[in-house]
């Protein structure tokens, strides 16, 4: 049985925006320091299936259109592929929490 490495996207692979916690534009996209070197090290020494996981609260709303997410997501996937790091799967939770009351209740 092959082992699986689950890696969170925002805050692990890319810097999470301190302002609104969303990486919803290419201007906000910044990779974590040494992330490519670190993951390349793991990829060349260990045999894992790679799964990127991310929660994107509010994706698909007027303040966070889905196309904004997909533009950034495609760029992230391509940047890692360019470095020889390929994700076998990407799991996205796009929970739509419209109010702070709903967000508190979900926690």
CA–CA separation, 9 and 17 (whole Å) = 12
Annotation marks residue 47 as catalytic = no
d(CA 20, CA 24) in angstroms, rounded, equals 10
Question: Which is the catalytic residue, given 8, 20, 88, 93?
Answer: 8
DSSP state of 85: -
Whole-number Cα distances in Å, 81 to 32, 56, 85, 87? 16, 22, 5, 8
24 a catalytic residue: no
Please give the positions annotated as active site. 8, 10
């Amino acid at each position: 049985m092959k082992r699986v490495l689950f890696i969170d996207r925002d805050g692990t692979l890319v810097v999470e925006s301190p302002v609104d916690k969303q990486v919803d534009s290419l201007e906000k996209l910044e990779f974590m320091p040494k992330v490519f070197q670190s993951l390349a090290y793991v990829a060349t020494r260990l045999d894992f299936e790679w799964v990127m996981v991310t929660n994107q609260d509010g994706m698909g709303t007027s303040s966070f259109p889905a196309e904004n997410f997909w533009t950034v997501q495609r760029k992230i996937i391509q940047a890692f592929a360019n470095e020889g790091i390929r994700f076998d799967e990407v799991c996205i939770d796009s929970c739509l929490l419209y109010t702070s009351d709903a967000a508190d209740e979900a926690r």
